[in-house]
Structure 1
Amino acid sequence: MSAETETSETLNLTHHFLIAMPGMQDEMFSRSVVYVCEHSDKGALGIIINKPSDITMGKLFDKVDLLLRRDDLHQEPVFQGGPVHTERGFVLHDRIVLDASAGDESAYASTLTIPGGLEMTTSRDVLEALSTGAGPRRVLVSLGYSSWGEGQLESEITENAWLTVNANTQVIFDTPIEQRYDMALGLLGVQPWALSAAAGRA
């Protein structure tokens, strides 16, 4: 069922992208793509996936006194995930379980399991795993996250602030950062020039 036909009671945008419309004035969210980690009638939580900070993963690991033994991650940027708790790290990554019999138990202490095969972990143990050269293969680390209170996201969508589409993990992990906005729009079959800041849907 598409977001257009769902009611506010049933709308669930977990594992969706929010794509900022051109009229978005907030500097943090302008031309942003937000991956929604959790959405319920109490609100929503997500991570901006296309706003890199000036901190690299290598520098972040230095700051937390860990040696990063993943050459593929050293120069990867840490992202600005949103305006909330910008002093805290949030790791979006492929799902890892302890073993096949562990069921839904995550390999890490403070982890939100997201339908769609991803997890978001806030505990240090995932960084410790990466520091040994292990851990999840694909990761996106952010400082801060984005959140909406009860009914707030639904209201913003009604006001034409966001387009929504089912998330694609390749856009999160494998697409060059500067292409993620256009690629997310492409999942809807929409070209950037076709968007209008005026009310109505593209």
Structure 2
Amino acid sequence: MSLEKFNLTGQFLIAMPAMTDPYFSKTVTYICTHNQDGAMGVIINRHSDITVAKLFEQIKLQTESLSLLTKAVHYGGPVQTERGFILHTILPAPHDEFNSTVVINNAVALTTSKDILEAVAENKVVKNNVPNKMLIALGYAGWTAGQLEDEMAQNAWLSLKTGLIEEAQALIFDAPNDDKFDLAMGMMGLNVANFSHSAGHA
């Protein structure tokens, strides 16, 4: 299958219900890039064991937002787990407010530079310099060239493409983590209980 017909950038990757890999079992991953060199994405439905308060302490940031500090940082995947990956809604153009931002589509962008967290800590949202929704994660999920295609052929994953900006943003930023897997399956018109447990080995 050609890459032009099989590009999952901006789509959700849903682990098949039978997948037993502890890193990816019952995960929903948002694919940020997918090309001839491989793919990378951020798992959106798993918390890490640290809070934003602990993360800010580690990177020497301070904020007075108690609601932010009590939020859990997400587990984005098993690669580079010490590095931050922030999925967020699109800022008004130009998209050059932060040092390292990739605009994935018209719904979501990915920033990996510390300056976005500095802006959040300083509450620059009032100046329109902070996205109104974001998901802070440590680590990412990565695939080498051809690896994701092979895993898809082995029925390890389902892919979900949402047609509406609001649907993608709601699944990433608004839905409770515990509900995201079932919600993603439901958006495909599928019920987990109807799946065979013979597939899903990544």
Shared fold (TM-score, shorter chain, > 0.5): yes
CA contact (8 A) 1:15 1:116 kept: no
Q: Which residue of 130, 149, 167 maps to 2:120?
A: 130
CA contact (8 A) 1:17 1:34 kept: yes
Secondary structure in structure 1 of the residue aligned to 2:53? helix
CA contact (8 A) 2:18 2:198 kept: yes
Query: What's the counterpart of residue 26 of structure 1?
Result: 21
Shift of 1:199: 4.8
What is the root-mean-square deviation of aligned Cα atoms in Å?
Answer: 1.6
State the identity %: 43
Shift of 1:86: 0.6
Q: Which residue of 30, 34, 52 maps to 2:47?
A: 52
Query: What's the counterpart of residue 186 of structure 1?
Result: 186
Query: What's the counterpart of residue 137 of structure 2?
Result: 142
For residue 93 of structure 1, what is the amino acid of its counterpart? H
Query: What's the counterpart of residue 63 of structure 2?
Result: 68
* 1:109-128 aligned within 5 A: 109-128=99-118
TM-score, normalised with respect to structure 1: 0.88
CA contact (8 A) 1:21 1:196 kept: no
Q: d(CA) in 1 for partners of 2:73 and 2:160?
A: 24
Query: What's the counterpart of residue 84 of structure 2?
Result: 89
Number of positions where the alignment pairs a residue of Structure 1 with one of Structure 2: 189
For residue 74 of structure 2, what is the amino acid of its counterpart? F
Shift of 1:25: 1.9
Query: What's the counterpart of residue 158 of structure 2?
Result: 163
Secondary structure in structure 2 of the residue aligned to 1:173? helix
Q: Say if 2:39 is the partner of 1:9.
A: no
Larger mean CA deviation between 49-58 and 69-78 belongs to 69-78
Q: d(CA) in 2 for partners of 1:55 and 1:144?
A: 13
CA contact (8 A) 2:16 2:199 kept: no
Shift of 1:12: 0.8
Alignment CA distance shift 1:198-1:86 (3 Å): same
